[in-house]
Amino acid sequence: MRLPYAVLKLSFNFRSSAADVFGWWTELEPKGYVGRSLKRISVLERAPGHAKVKTEWSFAGRRFELDEELVIVSDRLWVWYSSFLGVPAKETFRLDVTAEGCTLDILSEMTPKSWRVLLFLLIGWYWRRQDKLEWRAAAASCVQELQTGWKSTAQELPQN
């Protein structure tokens, strides 16, 4: 059974280099993106091409934390793994260079199992609405910060 809202695809165009966009989207600290719902990122473990983090979120006035994992495949491809209310999520980010800068494609896949399928059917539309709002806010923040001269100050996460 294909679940509604299980797959979300978004695409954003940037008039900046792929290297700068990659740096902005993968910087975890000290700056790191803080947005509509994402309130904090704390690095728990860092290795070449890999990091485990704790993120703090706020939805509908409720705060919660998630353990997440970032895997950097290359400077054009990285993947976030997480689980929210027992529903696993995989978010794949792919950068393509264009004549004007680059395009970032995000493919988010949620794979609920057992009784969580019912939970996802009931509130998946809300999660995905929030995801869209958060990714759009992050993309707008990326554009604004890169236009004002943002430069990474984070430790490097070399690829695998």
pLDDT in tens, 77-132: 999 999 988 899 999 999 999 999 999 999 999 999 899 899 888 888 888 998 99
Model confidence pLDDT, tens digit, residues 18-66? 999 999 999 887 566 778 888 889 999 999 999 999 999 988 788 999 9
**Residue 156 maps to a domain:** no
> What does the pLDDT read at residue 98?
97
Looking at residue 92, its amino acid is T
Tokens encoding 41: 């990122």
> What does the pLDDT read at residue 17?
95
> What does the pLDDT read at residue 60?
78
> What does the pLDDT read at residue 153?
64
Cα 80 to Cα 144: distance, rounded to the nearest angstrom: 23
Cα 73 to Cα 52: distance, rounded to the nearest angstrom: 15
Q: Whole-model pTM? A: 0.89
> What does the pLDDT read at residue 44?
95
**Residue 30 maps to a domain:** yes
Cα 122 to Cα 114: distance, rounded to the nearest angstrom: 14
pLDDT band at 71 (very low <50, low <70, confident <90, very high): very high
**Residue 36 maps to a domain:** yes
**Residue 59 maps to a domain:** yes
Q: Which residue has the tokens 């976030």?
A: 80
**DSSP track, 21-70:** HHHHHH--SSS----SSEEEEEEEEEETTEEEEEEEEEETTEEEEEEEEE
> What does the pLDDT read at residue 33?
72
Nearest by Cα to 52 from 39, 38, 67: 67
Note whether 133 and 36 are within 8 A (CB).
Answer: yes
Q: Is the pLDDT of residue 3 over 60?
A: yes
> What does the pLDDT read at residue 4?
84
**Residue 119 maps to a domain:** yes
Domain containing 14 equals 7-147
**Residue 101 maps to a domain:** yes
**Residue 154 maps to a domain:** no
Instruction: Please report, for the domain that includes residue 30, its CATH number.
Output: 3.30.530.20
CA 145 to chain centre: 17
Domain count, the chain: 1
> What does the pLDDT read at residue 28?
84
Cα 97 to Cα 115: distance, rounded to the nearest angstrom: 42
**Residue 58 maps to a domain:** yes
> What does the pLDDT read at residue 31?
66
> What does the pLDDT read at residue 96?
98
